[in-house]
């Protein structure tokens, strides 16, 4: 009897795993079929006005990259505070928890917030607003990674630096961060991949643009926002473009993830 129950439960568990995996691969297969079918050279050499993705791909990348430039220094320095300067104070623990909670805040709410503080005063959607929204999403992830990874560096390394007469901030930048480099880089790559695929925080911050632009003061082309708009269009052709964009986005995000999770980590 026990053995029967055991068999049944294990069978159910394998079944559940199978169902889950079937669903997930189903998605990937559909995406690949539709996406690969829709990709051609035209898409990469034309902007959205001419049924291409060029401006969207570059725009999305720019938005995410700018977010990295804003979010990573802030997040890292805050993480350094938590690990190196707070000495386990209550305040640091509080900030740590807040940051974790913020990591799970609904992304659309971040978009609404940035709309209120940037888009509304400026009067129109613009690239900076989009990047700020993405940066706000990114900061808690970077804080967390930095905090965790610095925490793995043995305290003797800090003491050895200090014992040579180095000021603490020098020890942190020359030694501790270097020692934690692999982990922090991985974390930042994963954070980048995560925000690069975001749509909701961009909807009313960056908006979208049909044209190629590098001017972040204007409405800015966003791949994800475009996919959202195009996918529900009645025009077959536009839906095709949306699939192509979705496929490219997924491949990009997965590659960055692979790079961060497995390549860099293995190299260590």
What residues numbered 159-188 form the site for other proteins, per CB under 8 A?
159-170, 174-175, 178-179, 181, 187
Which of the ranges 36-44, 45-53, 74-82, 214-222 carries the binding residues for other proteins, by CB under 8 A?
A: 74-82
CB of 30 to other proteins, least distance (A): 5
115 binds other proteins (CB under 8 A): yes
User: Residues 30 to 49: which contact other proteins by CB under 8 A?
Assistant: 30-31, 34
CA distance 244 to 34: 7
User: Residues 226 to 245: which contact other proteins by CB under 8 A?
Assistant: 227-228, 231-232, 242-243
Size of the site for other proteins (CB under 8 A): 112
Nearer to other proteins, 67 or 144 (CB): 144
Buried-state track 123-149, b at ≥16 Cβ within 10 A, e below 16 = eebbbbbbbbbbbbbbbbbbbbbbbbb
Which x/- pattern over 120-159 shows residues binding other proteins (rule: CB under 8 A)? ----------------x--xx--xxx--x-----x-xxxx
Q: At what angle do helices 236-258 and 2-38 cross, to 10 degrees?
A: 120
CB of 156 to other proteins, least distance (A): 5
Task: State residue 26 phi and psi, 5-degree precision.
Answer: -55, -50
CB of 128 to other proteins, least distance (A): 16
Q: How many separate helices (H) and strands (E) can be counted in the chain? A: 14, 0
Length of the chain: 268
Residue selected from 55, 209, 213, 224 as contacting other proteins according to rule CB under 8 A: 224
Nearer to other proteins, 45 or 89 (CB): 89
CB of 264 to other proteins, least distance (A): 14
Pick from 138, 143, 158: which is nearest to 79 by CA?
143
**Angle at alpha carbon of residue 197, lines to 207 and 114, rounded to 5°:** 40
Residue selected from 51, 54, 58, 103 as contacting other proteins according to rule CB under 8 A: 103
Pick from 40, 7, 34, 63: which is nearest to 208 by CA?
63
């Amino acid at each position: 009897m026990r053995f029967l129950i055991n068999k049944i439960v294990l069978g159910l568990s394998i079944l559940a795993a199978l169902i889950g995996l079937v669903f997930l691969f189903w998605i990937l297969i559909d995406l690949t079929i539709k996406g690969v079918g829709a990709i051609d050279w035209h898409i990469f050499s034309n902007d959205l006005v001419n049924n291409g993705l060029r401006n969207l791909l570059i725009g999305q990348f720019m938005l995410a990259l700018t977010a990295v430039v804003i979010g990573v220094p802030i997040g890292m320095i805050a993480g350094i505070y938590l690990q190196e300067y707070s000495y386990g104070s209550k305040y640091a623990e509080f900030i740590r928890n807040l940051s974790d909670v913020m990591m799970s805040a609904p992304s659309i709410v971040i978009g609404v917030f940035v709309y209120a503080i940037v888009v509304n005063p400026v009067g129109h959607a613009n690239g900076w607003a989009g990047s700020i929204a993405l940066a706000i999403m990114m900061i808690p992830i970077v804080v967390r990674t930095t905090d965790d990874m610095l925490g793995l560096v043995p305290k003797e390394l800090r003491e050895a630096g200090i014992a040579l007469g180095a000021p603490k901030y020098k020890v942190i930048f020359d030694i501790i961060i270097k020692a934690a480099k692999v982990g922090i880089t991985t974390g930042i790559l994963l954070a980048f991949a995560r925000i690069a695929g975001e749509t909701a925080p961009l909807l009313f911050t960056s908006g979208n643009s049909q044209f190629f632009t590098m001017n972040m003061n204007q409405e800015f082309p966003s791949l994800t926002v475009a996919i959202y708009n195009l996918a529900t269009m009645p025009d077959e052709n536009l839906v095709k473009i949306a699939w192509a964009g979705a496929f490219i986005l997924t491949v990009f995000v997965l590659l960055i993830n692979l790079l961060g999770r497995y390549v860099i980590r293995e190299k260590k």
